């Protein structure tokens, strides 16, 4: 069993992991950059250690600094959280080589799913439907055979970076005329953002839903899937609101998607928590997009609605830690049922009226929502100054209701209670979305903001 866990992350997710570890009786170590000396995660862990200056490349992304921190504190395991090094197979490899347990999947799994072209090939081999598209990366945008292949997919198409993530580096192309330039630019952008110019092209599914399946798998080959999450409310291909279950998925479809995700996990011998992301069209056809080999931002909605053998007993981070310690899953897919409806709003330090421009600064005062069915995962407090170096997520507000309508009303009530003074946040934006008739009716697709929010603005 793990004795001391170092959390190679910051902010709300670091706190989330510290809490789970504490409840398991595991000692915790927080790491922090010079810009984060006042961040709440450093105060909640048993120990803390500074790992470098503010810029992430010199601290949270520095593998030597993090490994040294493990050695200095005697941590025998590392939890990477999300973002930063969580999907870096080399980091997983170095941890294992140093005798430190990496709380995540094997380096091979991270590697296989990290390249989205390879991931699609593996999914296809496992019999999982994938978004129609070219099978290999674009090498030469002038290649006649390639252009022909892309035309066969049919416009619009979307160009994506094979090593991409965080919604970055995607480009929608509507006609052959703009294709060549788009491919060239995408290659350049991908090289800059992800250190690789490997790009690919797939069919752009119009007005789709983003539906994803949380899985857990142990080191003995057991895989379970959870009810789907709908993460269609997005800006710039990044999620803002997530809910579970998805209002248009019935029991039959749920099984079908869940089994597809399970097949992929089995195909690569996956273990730990992971999420298989699909895009779903109006007819309920779903296609594999990518797999995130880590805990996700929106995991609490799954915790909120999932019953295990009839009990509300799911903690995905605890399960991740137990799996890393070699424990066998204590339940299978048939033991999981749904109770109620959960919604999560990502509260970002951003100005929704200025195209979600980051709005860091000092939080003068804050009042948190509470009451029945409300969960707040956050690292902010009155007097805290949000540094400019990192992600703008400052809180996750999660509600559970007996049904979707109650969850929406509860979320609106909680958003009203949530008062953050000193900076701009996405709270007003969320209120607006949740009061939109289309949202209330469940007409939620990835075009939602464009269709219902900005056009009226």
Residue 279 engages ligand ADP in binding (rule: CB under 6 A): yes
Q: By rule CB under 5 A, what string of x and - marks binding of each residue 271-290 to Mg ion? A: ------x-------------
Residue from 36, 115, 197, 202 in contact with ligand ADP (CB under 6 A): 202
> CB 170 → Mg ion: shortest distance, Å?
10
**Which of Mg ion, ligand ADP, none sits in contact with 271, Cβ below 5 to 8 A by type?**
none
> CB 166 → ligand ADP: shortest distance, Å?
3
Cα–Cα distance list, 53 to 36, 58, 84, 404, 419 (Å) = 9, 6, 15, 44, 31
Q: Which residue is nearest to ligand ADP (CB)?
A: 165
Site for ligand ADP in 290-319 (CB under 6 A): 290, 292, 296-298
Which of residues 165 and 269 has its CB atom nearest to ligand ADP in the complex? Answer: 165
Residue 234 engages ligand ADP in binding (rule: CB under 6 A): yes
Respond yes or no: is residue 10 known to be catalytic. Answer: no
> CB 86 → ligand ADP: shortest distance, Å?
7
Helical axes 107-114 vs 116-125, angle rounded to 10°:
100
What is the four-CA torsion angle of 413, 301, 36, 361, rounded to 10 degrees? -30
Angle at 304 between CA 299 and CA 309, to 5 degrees: 110
Residue located via tokens 């579970």: 244
Cβ(77)–Cβ(101) under 8 Å?
yes
Beta bridge partners of 223: 217
Residue 428 engages ligand ADP in binding (rule: CB under 6 A): no
> CB 169 → ligand ADP: shortest distance, Å?
8
Structure tokens at 146: 């390639």
Residue 446 engages ligand ADP in binding (rule: CB under 6 A): yes
Site for ligand ADP in 320-349 (CB under 6 A): none
Q: By rule CB under 6 A, what string of x and - marks binding of each residue 138-177 to ligand ADP? A: --------------------x-----xxxx--x-------
Structure tokens at 385: 């100054």
Residue 221 engages ligand ADP in binding (rule: CB under 6 A): no
Cis before 376 (ω within 30):
no
Beta bridge partners of 365: 421
Beta bridge partners of 213: 276
Gap between the Cα atoms of 35 and 49, Å rounded: 13
**Which of ligand ADP, Mg ion, none sits in contact with 303, Cβ below 5 to 8 A by type?**
none
Angle at 210 between CA 207 and CA 213, to 5 degrees: 155
Which of residues 210 and 375 has its CB atom nearest to Mg ion in the complex? Answer: 210
Structure tokens at 69: 């921190």
> CB 417 → ligand ADP: shortest distance, Å?
25
Count CB atoms within 10 A of the CB of residue 88: 18
Residue 384 engages ligand ADP in binding (rule: CB under 6 A): no
Residue 237 engages ligand ADP in binding (rule: CB under 6 A): yes
Structure tokens at 125: 């081999």
Cβ(10)–Cβ(390) under 8 Å?
yes
Cis before 156 (ω within 30):
yes
Q: Which span (18-26, 64-72, 94-102, 287-295) binds ligand ADP, by CB under 6 A?
A: 287-295
Closest CA to 232 of 394, 57, 416, 452: 452
Residue from 2, 391, 397, 400 in contact with ligand ADP (CB under 6 A): 391
Gap between the Cα atoms of 403 and 378, Å rounded: 25
Identify the DSSP state of 329. P
> CB 217 → Mg ion: shortest distance, Å?
19
Binding site for ligand ADP (CB under 6 A): 82-83, 131, 158, 164-167, 170, 202-205, 208, 210, 234, 237-239, 277, 279, 289-290, 292, 296-298, 391, 446
- Binding residues for Mg ion (CB under 5 A): 277
As annotated, the active-site residues are 294
């Amino acid at each position: 069993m793990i004795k001391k866990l170092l959390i190679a992350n910051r902010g709300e997710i670091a706190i989330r992991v510290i809490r789970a570890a504490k409840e398991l009786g595991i000692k915790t170590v927080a790491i922090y950059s010079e810009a984060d000396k006042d961040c709440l995660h450093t105060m909640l862990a048993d120990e803390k250690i500074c790992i470098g200056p503010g810029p992430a490349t010199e601290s949270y992304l520095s593998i030597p600094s993090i490994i040294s921190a493990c050695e200095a504190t005697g941590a025998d395991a590392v939890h990477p959280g999300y973002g930063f090094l969580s999907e870096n197979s080399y980091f997983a490899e170095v941890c294992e080589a140093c005798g430190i347990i990496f709380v995540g999947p094997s380096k091979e799994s991270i590697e296989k799913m990290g390249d989205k072209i390879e991931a699609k090939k593996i999914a296809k081999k496992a019999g999982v439907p994938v978004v129609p598209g070219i099978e290999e990366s674009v090498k030469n945008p002038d290649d006649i055979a390639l252009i022909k292949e892309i035309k066969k997919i049919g416009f619009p198409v979307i160009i994506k970076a094979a090593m991409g993530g965080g919604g970055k580096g995607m480009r929608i192309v509507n006609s052959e005329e703009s294709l060549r330039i788009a491919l060239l630019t995408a290659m350049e952008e991908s090289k800059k953002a992800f250190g690789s110019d490997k790009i690919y092209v797939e069919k752009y599914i119009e007005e789709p839903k983003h539906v994803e399946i949380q899985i857990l798998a142990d080191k003995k080959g057991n895989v379970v899937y959870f009810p789907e999450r709908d993460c269609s409310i997005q800006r710039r291909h990044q999620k803002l609101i997530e809910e579970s279950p998805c209002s248009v998925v019935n029991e039959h479809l749920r099984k079908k998607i869940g089994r597809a995700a399970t097949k992929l996990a089995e195909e690569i011998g996956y273990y730990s928590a992971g999420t298989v992301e699909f895009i779903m069209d109006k007819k309920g056809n779903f296609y594999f997009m990518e797999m995130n080999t880590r805990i996700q931002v929106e995991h609490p909605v799954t915790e909120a609605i999932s019953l295990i053998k009839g009990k509300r007993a799911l903690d995905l981070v605890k399960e991740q830690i137990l799996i890393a310690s070699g424990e066998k899953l204590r339940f299978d897919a048939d033991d999981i049922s749904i109770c109620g409806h959960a919604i999560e709003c990502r509260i970002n330090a951003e100005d929704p009226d200025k195209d979600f421009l980051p709005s860091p600064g000092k939080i003068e005062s804050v009042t948190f929502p509470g009451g029945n069915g409300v969960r707040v995962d956050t690292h902010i407090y009155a007097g805290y100054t949000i540094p400019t170096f990192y992600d703008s997520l400052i809180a996750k507000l999660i509600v559970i209701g007996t049904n979707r309508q109650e969850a929406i009303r509860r979320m609106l009530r909680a958003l009203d209670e949530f008062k953050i003074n000193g900076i701009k946040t996405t709270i007003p934006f969320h209120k607006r979305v949740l009061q939109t008739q289309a949202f209330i009716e469940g007409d939620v697709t990835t075009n939602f903001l464009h269709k219902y929010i900005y056009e009226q603005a």
